[in-house]
């Protein structure tokens, strides 16, 4: 994750080296799910649970991060690819063949 932050802070000329940022976001979402599962295990299935206030504070924090990262993922990767696909299907030449145009919509 810090390698991504370091490369992206270097500017647009390093954008070709961070093709894996979509996958990093997926890994972070999986990490949040695993942390919630660990919190549940620690609270319910072990003989030494953590204090209830701390448990709910951590649960709220991790769930908030999950929601924020999921919104970012959907906005950045899912909706953008649907817009590009829609433009590709609407762009046809004279013989009604689909023209392969990649257009980025913000």
- Structure confidence by residue, pLDDT tens digits, 6-45: 888 888 888 788 888 899 999 999 999 999 999 999 999 9
- Quote the pTM value: 0.69
Candidates 91, 73, 84, 61; CA nearest to 26 is 73
Q: Is residue 102 part of a domain?
A: no
3 state SS of 46: coil
The domain tally of the chain equals 1
Tokens read off for 36: 């919630």
Residue 106 is predicted with a pLDDT of 47
3 state SS of 92: strand
Axis crossing angle, helix 52-73 with helix 21-44, rounded to the nearest 10: 160
Q: Is residue 68 part of a domain?
A: yes
Q: Is residue 84 part of a domain?
A: no
Domain housing 68: 2-79
């Amino acid at each position: 994750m810090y390698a991504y932050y370091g490369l992206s802070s270097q500017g647009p000329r390093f954008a070709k080296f961070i093709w894996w940022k979509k996958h990093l976001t997926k890994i972070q979402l999986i990490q949040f799910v695993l942390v919630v599962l660990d919190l549940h295990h620690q609270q319910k299935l072990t003989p030494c649970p953590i204090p209830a206030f701390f448990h709910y504070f951590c649960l709220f924090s991790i769930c908030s991060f999950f929601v924020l990262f999921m919104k970012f993922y959907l906005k950045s990767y899912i909706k953008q690819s649907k817009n590009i696909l829609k433009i590709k299907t609407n762009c046809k030449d004279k013989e009604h063949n689909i023209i392969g145009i990649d257009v980025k919509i913000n």
